[in-house]
Chain A
Amino acid sequence: MASLRELSKKKDYLTGGHRLCAGCGHSIAVRQVLLASEDPVVVGCATGCLEVSTTIYPYTAWKCSYIHNAFENVAATISGVESAYQALKRRGKVDKELKFVAFGGDGGTYDIGLQSLSGALERGHNMLYVCCDNGAYMNTGIQRSSATPKGAWTTTTPVGSVRPGKPRRRKDLTAICADHNIPYVAQASISHWKDLHAKAAKALQTDGPAFLNILSPCPRGWRHPSDQTVKMAKLGVQTGYWPLYEVENGVWKVTVKVRQPKPVAEWFKLQGRFKHLFAPGNEALLADLQADVDSQRERILARCESTQE
């Protein structure tokens, strides 16, 4: 495991000067993942904040080859790039070792891009898919996705007199990917850089498809100050909302143990998207959300226990 000092000397594929908001989790996620690669990388990016902010023509913030195709198809697109690589390698036209990494937002991955992702994982391409999960369609102005936490305000689940934010619980995409029985799947957070780095390194060394789901706070959409991004991600982990675990060849394992999760309210109350939950009369709602987070966490822990040798 490289030290921070060593990492700081490595080639950065995403340079500064991009137009992501100050405090955006995405650039942290991308740089931490790509720093873990020992080989040159080729990146694919789905439409979303990361894409629009890093390649405003005629500029690019990417120092590696990069392709953006559309919103829902980055997995298929990078699978095409990787297939070209396999073909040209076989025919002696390229010889270098390369890694192929796709980045998608939660909208581009949980929702509209799920089919493309599922297909690519099943086909077994040698690629890493990274979902930068900020829990909504931020690029288009904070609309709900199937990654949005239950109870959260978004512009399509506004808080009104009869509806208190998003009514449904979130989809468990990490588990869905794990159930594709691919070699490596993990859930990580930008706040736990060592854990994330180790997972990215493993994922990149995996022979075959790998999937990383990274909690990547968005100050705009979560409604928190832009200097609180890492803290927000950390609390996401410490409350048990975002358990850090990996699934390696079918074995589920918690990588960062949270013995006594903090109440989710501690995390919620720092974010404007949950402000309404603290209005008088919403105590039951808050309790319900806590129960939801607990049960989801327990499900993951149970799978970890049941698959350990």
Chain B
Amino acid sequence: MSKTVALTGNLACAHAMRQINPDVVAAYPITPQTTIVEEFSTFVANGQVDTEYVTVESEHSAMSACVGASAAGSRVITATSSQGLALMWEILYIASALRLPIVMHNVNRTLAGPINIHCDHQDSMGARDSGWIQIHCENAQEAYDTTIQAIRIAEDNRVRLPVLVCLDGFIISHAIDRLDMLDDPEVKKFVGEFEPAISMLDPEEPITVGPFDGLHGQFFEFRRAQELATLGSLPVIEEIGKEYGAVSGRPYGLIEEYKLDDAEIAIVVLGSTAGTTRVVVDSLRADGVKAGLLKIRSFRPFPIKQITDALSGVKAVAVLDRSLSPGAIGAPVFQEVRSALYDSESRVPIINFIYGLGGRDVSMGLIKEAYTVLSDIVKDGQVKQTINYLGLRE
């Protein structure tokens, strides 16, 4: 049984945390994540959870304490944003290398400077190579559902990796949305009892965690093993998404296609902008334009086959990136989608639109503009400009 509620994305995440009732939460507040930890604090204060809640003095310590708690054999959740995620950077790599199933919300906010509290994906793109699974959510419902699935993905013995659940700052985190919540016992059953792969708390079986890898060590092999585990999580994310669908009626995959089957032009995007794009697709379709949308849910691991298959029939693609990599050939999502398509037979023309940095509003009109450029490419048979900017004041 589920119930329909109206909650902000952050409160939806906090409620998912309440229902999971993790052993340990170590977290530090930062806009726009703050209401997650505030709400969770009230659950602790009112005894609605019996989590050990560690109110650390920084995000660096938050992630450090999460590493200690997870290695000790407990189920751990945390949350951050932006500067906080950047401050954790060093420890993100250690958490994933130790193969600790920590789940963390990242409420996407740009990175200073200038200091700015609004949404873009610059922060989570900085965690791209950290060895964390990275899943992007479109709305509060997905943020709630993904939090619950993330526990299972992270703890799955075929995976054992930390998971970053990304939701767009303010757009998802602070907007009140309608969503369906599972009952507490359903969540409890779905996540199950945590059976840790390692524990530091059994004196009969002591373990050394985080040893020093000497000059002729195994570093390369460890990192490769981590890569294999990350790639191996692709079917697990799908499997758990399906299983969650059977319980909730909302199945999840690695990507989500919208009207792509017969589409000629397609936009690829992460996060909340997929919602806006879907509306634009509908309006273009009403005008007879064969537009489609590909939403990437799992950015790490990057589902290459699913993405190339989904785009195999289109004639022009635009990737919308909410981050900028100075000096690179386009932004990260574009780089990867283009790289994936390089090997495809069609070698469809592909362009990049960088948008929404520092919370710059992305309207339907702007997305329509992107589709118009794609239509022109199909018509003229040529790409005029590969890297483009939506909503930039020039």
Contact = CB atoms under 8 A, between A and B. Distances in A.
Contact of B23 (A58, A59, A72, A87): A87
A119 B57 contact: yes
Contact of A40 (B52, B69, B203): B203
Contact of B52 (A70, A84, A98): A84
B71 interface: yes
A55 B209 CA distance: 9
A88 B201 contact: yes
Interface stretch (B212-220, B236-244, B352-360): B212-220
Q: Most chain-B Cβ atoms within 10 A of its Cβ — which of A51, A62, A85, A122?
A: A85
A216 B210 CA distance: 24
Given A69-B64, A76-B65, A80-B68, A57 B201 contact: no
A75 B67 CA distance: 12
Interface in A245-303: none
Interface string A70-96: 101101111111111111101100101
A60 interface: yes
B255 interface: no
Nearest to A51: B212
B47 interface: no
Contacts of A88: 23, 72-74, 201
Interface string B69-94: 11111101000000000000011001
Nearest to A96: B203
Interface string A33-58: 00000001010100000011001111
A79 B63 CA distance: 11
Contacts of B201: 42, 65, 84-85, 88, 94, 96, 98
Contact of B68 (A52, A79, A98): A79
Contacts of B218: 57-58
Contact of A56 (B26, B209, B214): B214
A81 B69 contact: yes
B60 A80 contact: no
A116 B24 contact: no
Interface string B32-66: 00000000000000000011101111101110111
Contacts of B69: 80-81, 83-84, 87
Given A52-B212, A57-B212, A64-B206, A81 B66 contact: no
A283 to B, nearest CB: 45
Nearest to A59: B211
B24 A83 contact: yes
Contact of B94 (A69, A96, A116): A69
Q: Most chain-B Cβ atoms within 10 A of its Cβ — which of A60, A82, A98, A119?
A: A119
Q: Which bucket holds chain A's interface residue count?
A: 35 or more
Given A67-B210, A80-B66, A84-B68, A73 B55 contact: no
B385 interface: no
A81 B71 CA distance: 7
A66 B203 CA distance: 11
A116 B90 CA distance: 14
Given A83-B54, A85-B201, A76 B64 contact: yes
A118 interface: yes
A79 B200 CA distance: 13
Contact of A85 (B51, B72, B214): B72
A115 B58 CA distance: 9
Contact of A69 (B24, B67, B212): B67
A84 B214 contact: no
Contact of A80 (B55, B72, B206, B213): B72
Given A83-B69, A88-B73, A90-B50, A77 B64 contact: yes
B26 A83 contact: yes
B182 to A, nearest CB: 22
Contacts of B94: 69-70
A1 B66 CA distance: 37
Given A40-B203, A65-B200, A55 B212 contact: yes
Nearest to A120: B61
5 contacts: A65-B202, A81-B69, A81-B200, A82-B68, A119-B61
Interface of B: 23-24, 26, 50-52, 54-58, 60-62, 64-74, 76, 90-91, 94, 200-203, 206-214, 217-218
Interface of A: 40, 42, 44, 51-52, 55-60, 62-70, 72-73, 75-88, 90-91, 94, 96, 98, 115-116, 118-120, 122-123
The list of the 9 closest CB pairs from A to B, nearest first, reads A80-B68, A119-B57, A80-B65, A40-B203, A84-B72, A84-B74, A76-B61, A73-B64, A76-B64
